[in-house]
Amino acid sequence: MNEDLVERAESDPQRPRYHFTAPGGWLNDPNGLGQWQGTYHLFYQYNPHAAVHGRIHWGHATSQDLVTWNDEPVALVPSDDGPDRDGCWSGVLVDDQGTPTLVYSGNRDGRQLPCVATGSADLRTWVTDPGNPVIDHPPPGLDVTGFRDHCVWRESGHWRQLVGSGVTGVGGTALLYDSDDLREWRLVGTLLVGDTNERDRTDDYWTGDMWECVDLFRPPSLEPGGPASDVLVLSACDDVSLHHALYLTGTYAGDHFDPVALERLDLGGSCFYAPQSFTDEGGRRVMFGWLQEERPEASSVAAGWAGALSVPREVTLGVDGALWQAPVREVASLRSEPVVGAVGVLDQGRRIALGSGVAVDVELVVRLEPGAVVEVAVRATPDDEERTVIRLARGTADDAGQVRLELDRSRSTLDPAVEALERQGLVPVGLDGSVALRVLVDHSALEVFANGRALASRTYPTRDDALGVQLVLTSGSAVLDSATTWVMRDIWSGPRTLWPSVDG
């Protein structure tokens, strides 16, 4: 049955070929990201039995270059009767004086508690700690909405840990703990508490009832001498929905986080969720997020797979005090066959062809006058029946320092069951109105980067000829300074291996 799952998954035309996917079955959050003696390790929430969120294992893959991966044996399997009997939920990898160690959430009877596992030197085999769970209840006296997911680091000779949580009726939170040995933990307190009542649940900035997958780090500056700030990433949810990933800039000091600004991490809404980041051996902060499916569950089940990861994103702090995100430079190593578009002053309504493909990387720079609107269409059929449109609309007067980035999926697919919500958000522009746009199209996965802001989404065109990439000025004046499209290579060099092999 499992081999069949891989076969079905690999033959699905919607399956991304240069975004990370599980060999078959279900994938959600990236976990345990790190670089260990040169090798990149990626673990992920994984159900090898079916393309649904079930008894979650930890899948594992390794890479030398962050973009091409090898499937490794499953790292964590739910135990027969332990605290992770019903699933090994999200967590992190840390180096405990040379011993690779996972801190994750054991799921049992609908509750999650922190657990630990130690690994062999090659990180291929893992043993769960007999003392699990290492924290056996959420803080007494605190009515929590949840207690799971971990961010663990060394500080002043101790371990520190954040556990994602929320205070019922108050807001999401991150609980701060302290330890000498990763096994005995002392509660320090709440790092900070959000306000669930401050905004409407439909608001793009709503911080939720519960913070999942909290991630605290200090990003490098985009430019030498740029501002410094700590960043707390959180994935806001309630008991019905996974909403979106947000981040706070501010200062972590004295057991608290003093926030300065709250920002959206990705303008694609719930598509980019549960991100995790790590510092690689070169000092870069690299982030992966889960790209959720946006087609009906029955379609994923039939296809034998669900869930992809974003490309690895390098995150830095810009001079505007916000996170700047860009695909790591290694993504460009997958490029082949460039198509260079004609540049110059754009005529309104004249379409410029920028190549074609189901897996392409489009990079362009366009200068928009105030009021100008430029559209880039991808996965476009020759007759326009299917097309996904990325729109850049520069404001006028007081708003001229911003461009509205919109993703219009109203004609992305002829399949009426697929989500077609519009996505949008603001992107900063300089005085010359220039936008550096990068569009990564990979079958059903789509990631857009515009002046450091990111927007991830999913599109499921049905027609084989939904391949076109085009640019058009629909309003005002603009100049196209450069435009190149590359076809992208597949990141898998051999057949996928489904671990573990299970019958039935």
Residues at the interface with ligand DQQ (CB under 6 A): 28-29, 45, 56, 89-90, 105, 148-149, 212-213, 235, 242, 273-274
Name the residue type at position 23: P
- Burial of 206 per CB tally in 10 Å (0-12, 13-18, 19+): buried
- 93 forms bridges with which residues in the sheet? 102
Whichever of 149 and 209 has its CB closer to ligand DQQ, that residue is 149
Residue whose CB is less far from ligand DQQ, 89 or 278 = 89
Name the minimum Å distance from CB 102 to ligand DQQ: 13
Which residue, chain included where needed, has tokens 């609980």?
175
Beta strands in 430-502 (DSSP E): 434-442, 445-450, 453-458, 468-475, 478-488
Are 265 and 205 in contact, with CB atoms under 8 Å apart?
no
* CA max distance for the chain: 69
Given the structure tokens 């005085």, which residue do they identify?
431
Q: What does the alpha-carbon distance between residue 19 and residue 35 come to, in Å, rounded to a whole number?
A: 19
Q: What angle do CA 362, 305, 450 make, to 5 degrees?
A: 25
Q: How far is the CB of 10 from ligand DQQ (least distance, A)?
A: 24
Find tokens 């964590």 and name the residue: 76
Query: Which residue, 165 or 485, has its beta carbon nearer to ligand DQQ?
Result: 165
> 281: closest CA among 117, 95, 120?
95
* Alpha carbon 115 to its chain's center: 24
CB of 31 to ligand DQQ, least distance (A): 8
- Distance (Å, rounded) from C-alpha 56 to C-alpha 88? 6
246 vs 473 by CB, closer to ligand DQQ = 246
Secondary element (H or E) of residue 302: helix 297-303
Question: Which of 4, 12, 29, 255 is the catalytic position?
Answer: 29
Kindly provide the b/e burial profile for residues 219-235, where b requires at least 16 CB atoms within 10 angstroms of the residue's own CB.
bbbbeeebeebbbbbbb
Closest listed residue to residue 149, CA positions, set 254, 256, 269, 274: 274
In the complex with ligand DQQ, which residue's Cβ is closer, 27 or 403?
Answer: 27
Name the residue nearer to ligand DQQ (CB basis): 191 or 390.
191
Residue 29 annotated to the active site: yes
Nearest residue (CB) to ligand DQQ, 71 versus 84: 84
Cα–Cα separations (whole angstroms), residue 414 to 409, 465, 466, 491: 11, 13, 11, 29
Given the structure tokens 């991304």, which residue do they identify? 16
Q: How far is the CB of 419 from ligand DQQ (least distance, A)?
A: 18
Place of tokens 């709440």: 190
Name the 3-class secondary structure at 7.
helix
Closer to ligand DQQ by Cβ: residue 274 or 380? 274
**SS3 for 298?**
helix
Nearer to ligand DQQ, 212 or 215 (CB): 212
| Percent composition of the chain: helix, strand, coil (DSSP 3-state, to 5) | 5, 55, 40
Residue 57 Cβ vs ligand DQQ, minimum distance, rounded to whole Å: 10
Measure the CA–CA gap between 327 and 316, rounded to whole angstroms.
12
Q: CA nearest 358: which of 6, 19, 7, 4? A: 19
CB of 274 vs ligand DQQ, minimal distance in Å:
4
Which active-site residues does the annotation give?
A: 29
